[in-house]
């Protein structure tokens, strides 16, 4: 056998081997590939479904976050308004308290001034009467006593008229 025949014979054997293997393995390889295709199709379908679910959840979460942000803004605005109202109420209450204290202070000042004036008037009157009594005891005439009494009363009236 020549080398060309061997070469041709080797190639024929090779093609027969490949043909035989293809004939024998055609069904198992086909079933394997079909099963693999089905697994890939299921995997892709499941992955697409999970992707859609994740996308839906993400959109729902995003909407909840937007609602939460809106609620937070509303709550913040409400708290600011409440704080402003509270601040205004506190300021109003403080103004009312200041006004009440001012009125009470004025009233107390008038009362104390009146009491002090009354006390001074009484003390002045007592002093005037004591002075008049001393003068009377020195031998003053009846006319002088009346003049002294009139002077004391007029001094007392003048003191009463002063605030």
Helix axes 3-137, 142-161, angle to 10 degrees: 170
**Residue 9: how many other CB atoms lie within 10 Å:** 11
Separation in Å, CA 140 to CA 66, 124, 134: 106, 21, 10
Q: 33: helix, coil or strand?
A: helix
pLDDT per residue, tens digit, the chain (163 aa), is 788 889 899 999 999 999 998 889 889 889 999 999 999 999 999 999 999 999 999 998 898 888 888 888 888 888 877 777 777 777 888 888 888 988 988 899 888 888 887 777 778 777 777 776 776 666 667 777 777 778 877 877 777 676 5
Strand stretches in 3-82, DSSP E: none
Cα 104 from Cα 37, distance rounded (Å) = 97
How many structural domains comprise the chain? 1
Cα 35 from Cα 162, distance rounded (Å) = 121
Give me the residue label for tokens 């024998």. 24
Query: What's the pTM?
Result: 0.39
Cα 21 from Cα 77, distance rounded (Å) = 80
Separation in Å, CA 64 to CA 61, 68, 79: 5, 6, 22
The residue range of the domain holding 149 is: 3-161
For 140-153, give one letter per residue: b (16+ CB within 10 A) or e: eeeeeeeebeeebe
């Amino acid at each position: 056998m020549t080398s060309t025949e061997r070469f041709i014979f080797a190639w024929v054997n090779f093609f027969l081997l490949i043909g035989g293997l293809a004939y024998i393995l055609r069904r198992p390889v086909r079933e394997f590939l079909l099963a693999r295709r089905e697994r890939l199709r299921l995997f892709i379908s499941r992955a697409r479904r999970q992707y859609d679910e994740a996308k839906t959840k993400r959109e729902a979460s995003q909407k909840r976050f937007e609602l939460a942000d809106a609620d937070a803004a509303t709550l913040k605005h409400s708290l600011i308004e409440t704080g402003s109202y509270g601040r205004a109420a506190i300021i109003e209450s403080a103004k009312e308290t200041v006004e009440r204290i001012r009125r009470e202070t004025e009233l107390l000042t008038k009362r104390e001034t009146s009491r002090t004036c009354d006390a001074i008037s009484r003390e002045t009157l007592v002093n005037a009467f004591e002075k008049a009594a001393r003068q009377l005891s020195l031998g003053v005439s009846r006319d002088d006593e009346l003049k002294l009494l009139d002077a004391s009363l007029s001094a007392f009236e003048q003191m009463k008229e002063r605030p």
